[in-house]
Amino acid sequence: MALEVGIVGLPNVGKSTIFNALTAAGALAANYPFATIEPNVGVVAVPDDRLKLINQFMPTEKIIPAAVRVVDIAGIVRGASTGEGLGNKFLSHIREVDAILGVVRCFVDSDIMHVEGHVDPIRDIDTIDTELALADLETVTSSIDKSERQARSGDKDAIARLEVLKRCLTQLEKGTPVRGLEFNPDERKILKTLGLITAKKVLYVANVNEEDLHGQGPLVDKVRERAKAEGGHVVPVCGKLESELAELGEADRKEMLDSMGLKEPALASLTREAYKLLDRQSYFTAGPKEIRAWEIPVGATAPQAAGVIHTDFEKKFIKAEIYSVSDLVEYKSEAAIRAAGKRRIEGKDYVMRDSDVAHFLTGA
């Protein structure tokens, strides 16, 4: 199943415009059902030039990129954590995503009202953080009672869980996201079981106008400062322009981008950043039927990578034949890669690298 990110933001900040542009642009990718799955869920291709690079040397019937599921979360308003607006709906959706794309408006337009009366992206971020922290606070408070009862019996797991919950409680009572806390690997495992919204990683999406496509204005700078303080990133996106680009064919889209001095739509950069946000990388399989990018966590072993194709492949893994995309560019064919001794035979302990091309050998 593809990774899932949720687009979160206040009303009238361009959240749904960017979601619609993402899913419309994704639908342009050949040989993959990129489009809106439900009214608020879409699947978007992860742009990757290496797929076309492989195809230059290996003819194939179809090319399939890695994918990210995108969920358009109901707009958050003050009081959402207590059920205001579509509060309960947004909570149920956002708990299920792997990471958050926080859309904030970074342009002034008198024709588009802001729910708070004027544009202030930092205030908007604070509003969202507060609502999510309040929702998490309720979760943590109820979990502490149960963990305290279990910890009294001397249960080591319950004691460790209680310590993590208490640290989260202190943070959330200040209205501050849990993701700002430092946890060791064991604590992170406990944190993952709590299902806290504010523990999720956030990528800020600065919705800009056509006069500030590269996000160099003062409002975006404020968001960058906030993201830097949190160890996060910002991607400037002009929702209006991206919507127009998504409706064009490839040739017209390229012409429009060229006329504006842009190499690619900002949504391509946004999708790649979301992919990296979740510590994911791609390896490839290539043959006459398909060339495909497979999404794996950074640090995945060869058997784990094989298991992404089919769970049985991980269980019955014997070995992997590996070379890199750069090897293919240099030697032009798999036969030439073998002749040059660049095809590697790797076992169960091999840690996959971004840009590996793999053939897996499995048992019966």
Q: Which position has the token pair 């949190």?
A: 230
Q: Quick one: pLDDT at residue 79? A: 63
What would the two tokens of residue 112 be? 């588009």
Paired with 69 in beta bridges are: 4, 43
Residue-level pLDDT at 82: 56
Phi and psi, residue 281, nearest 5°: -140, 170
Residue 134 CA to residue 343 CA, distance in Å, equals: 54
- Tracing tokens 């990578």 back to the chain, one arrives at 305
Give the largest CA-CA distance in the chain. 69
Task: Write the pLDDT tens digit of every residue in 120-172.
Answer: 999 999 998 998 898 899 899 999 988 999 999 888 999 999 999 999 999 99
Contact 84, 78 (CB under 8 A): yes
Q: What is the CATH number of domain 128-198?
A: 1.10.150.300
Q: Which fold has domain 3-117+201-277?
A: Rossmann fold (3.40.50)
Q: pTM for this structure?
A: 0.86
Look up residue 148 and give its amino acid.
E
Contact (Cβ atoms closer than 8 angstroms) between residue 358 and residue 307? no
At 81 the pLDDT is 53
Q: Domain map of the chain by residue range?
A: 3-117+201-277, 128-198, 299-362
Tell me, what's the pLDDT at 333? 96
In whole angstroms, what is the distance from residue 360 CA to residue 322 CA? 9
**Ranges of the chain with pLDDT below 70:** 1, 25-39, 77-91, 113, 115-116
For residue 40, what pLDDT is reported? Answer: 82
271-285 residues labelled b (16+ CB within 10 A) or e (exposed):
bbebbebbebbbbbb
What is the CB neighbour count within 10 angstroms for residue 38? 8
Q: Which residue has 């053939």 as its token pair?
A: 359
pLDDT of residue 93: 74
Per the structure block, which two tokens stand in for 275? Answer: 């992919």
Range 299-362 has CATH code 3.10.20.30: yes
Closest by CA position to 282, among listed 13, 11, 47: 47
